[in-house]
């Protein structure tokens, strides 16, 4: 297993040396140690480290936050911010770049170790999820039906993952009003709507896949029979967090 490669961006030489010794003792590889934002940009682009530990209050034209924003334009890397100040304005500014962690000096050794290990591991998980999401979207484009995902947060909302909605209904996503959890809610004929909602709500209760047929009225006023198949997605606590499904036009 290869060592995680870390870049240190710190303008205090003693702090940088201390960080290097600790990281190497924990089994990480320190690939660089620079003191300015501009040098950090150059090293990040050249070395592509797995994680960057950076002081927010760097001297020069670029402070830590500005440097992090510039690095984000090059590639995706987790960044741990270090600072000697707990000033709320500084923390608020740091949050804009979504750092992996934010540590105030003087830091505890176990605090830094946890931040580094979790920062690297969480980023690996994020990148894998991102890869799977791109693969899922690519696959969705090739399915001859309306592929959707409904997020069940405080205000449930629908995301359409391909372009078949307009092909089948004549409407863009903005022209379709979701009713409760029925994705094509405003297009479903009135006598079929309750059945659709009952089937989907039962699926959420049981955690099992669902399948339902119903009629819609498209933009031209044509009645079309639709077949919808979906499934709930569960988190680690077995709670339903979203619904994923596909809606086909039943031509027969």
Q: pTM for the whole thing?
A: 0.56
Q: What is the reported pLDDT for 129?
A: 62
Domains in the chain (CATH in brackets) are 5-135 (3.40.50.2300), 143-249 (3.30.450.20)
Q: What is the reported pLDDT for 250?
A: 84
Q: What is the reported pLDDT for 2?
A: 62
Q: What is the reported pLDDT for 136?
A: 65
- Averaged pLDDT, groups of 10, the chain, 252 residues long: 85 92 94 93 93 90 90 90 77 80 87 90 76 68 84 79 85 81 90 94 91 94 93 82 89 58
10 Å Cβ neighbour count for 4? 21
Q: What is the reported pLDDT for 45?
A: 92
Per DSSP, the three-state class of 151 is strand
10 Å Cβ neighbour count for 77? 18
Q: What is the reported pLDDT for 1?
A: 44
Q: What is the reported pLDDT for 57?
A: 86
Distances (CA, A) of 31 to 8, 47, 144: 8, 8, 49
The count of C-alpha atoms lying within 13 angstroms of the C-alpha of 43, restricted to the half-sphere facing its C-beta, is 24
């Amino acid at each position: 297993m290869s060592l995680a490669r870390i870049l240190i961006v710190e303008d205090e030489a003693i702090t940088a040396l201390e960080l290097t010794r600790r990281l190497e003792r924990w089994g990480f590889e320190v690939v660089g140690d620079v003191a300015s934002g501009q040098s950090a940009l150059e090293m990040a682009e050249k070395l592509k480290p797995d994680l960057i530990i950076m002081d927010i209050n760097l001297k020069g034209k670029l402070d830590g936050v500005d440097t992090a924003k510039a690095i984000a334009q090059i590639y995706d890397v987790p960044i741990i911010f270090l600072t000697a100040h707990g000033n709320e304005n500084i923390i608020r500014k740091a949050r804009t770049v979504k750092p992996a962690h934010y540590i105030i000096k003087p830091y505890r050794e176990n605090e830094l170790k946890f931040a580094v290990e979790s920062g690297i591991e969480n980023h690996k998980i994020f990148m894998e999820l991102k890869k799977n999401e791109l693969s899922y979207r690519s696959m969705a484009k090739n399915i001859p039906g309306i592929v959707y995902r409904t997020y069940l947060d405080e205000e449930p909302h629908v995301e359409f993952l391909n372009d078949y909605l307009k092909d089948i209904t004549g409407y863009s996503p903005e022209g379709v009003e979701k009713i409760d959890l029925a994705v094509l809610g405003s297009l479903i004929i009135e006598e079929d709507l309750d059945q659709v909602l009952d089937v989907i709500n039962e699926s959420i209760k049981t955690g099992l896949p669902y399948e339902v047929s119903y009629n819609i009225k498209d933009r031209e006023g044509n009645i079309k029979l639709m077949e919808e198949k979906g499934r709930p997605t569960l988190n680690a606590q077995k709670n339903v967090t979203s619904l994923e499904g596909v809606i086909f036009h039943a031509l027969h």
